[in-house]
Amino acid sequence: MKDTGKINYLEIPSSDLDKTKAFFSDAFGWKFIDYGPDYIAIEDAGIDGGFYRSPLVATPESGSVLIVLYSKTLEETLTGVKAAGGQIVKEIFAFPGGRRFHFTDLTGNEYAVWSE
């Protein structure tokens, strides 16, 4: 059952849905459902959501929300992001409560990954 007022779904821009699917499949094991040429839904990502075809790019510098993923093995995840073609924009750093890094996917959207 879904709760009123709780975050339920995220939609993220992507200028190239095929690149987005390949990157997140390789780096994080996500699965996708295609809904026509302009939308793909995310499966197995921890929250429901999808990517829509758009020339826009989501970065904190442009005022976008930063999506933060979790990893039990931060260094291994960083290696996987690099191997999938992601660009590291902030190397691993400590913050109160853990450590994290930031990366951009193949279409330029920025994300972070954190661990305790």
In the chain, pLDDT over 70 holds for what percent of residues?
A: 99
Span 66-88, pLDDT tens digits: 999 999 999 999 999 999 999 99
- Measured distance CA(29)–CA(5) in Å, rounded: 29
Q: Evaluate if residue 1 carries a pLDDT over 90.
A: no
Indicate the pLDDT class of residue 2, thresholds 50, 70 and 90.
confident
Average pLDDT over residues 31-60: 96
- Measured distance CA(97)–CA(114) in Å, rounded: 10
CATH: 3.10.180.10, 2.30.42.10, 3.30.70.2740, 3.60.21.10. Which one for 9-115? 3.10.180.10
Q: Structure pTM?
A: 0.94
Other C-beta atoms lying within 10 Å of the C-beta of residue 82: 13
The DSSP call for residue 1 is: -
CA 68 to chain centre: 7
Q: What are the domain boundaries of the chain?
A: 9-115
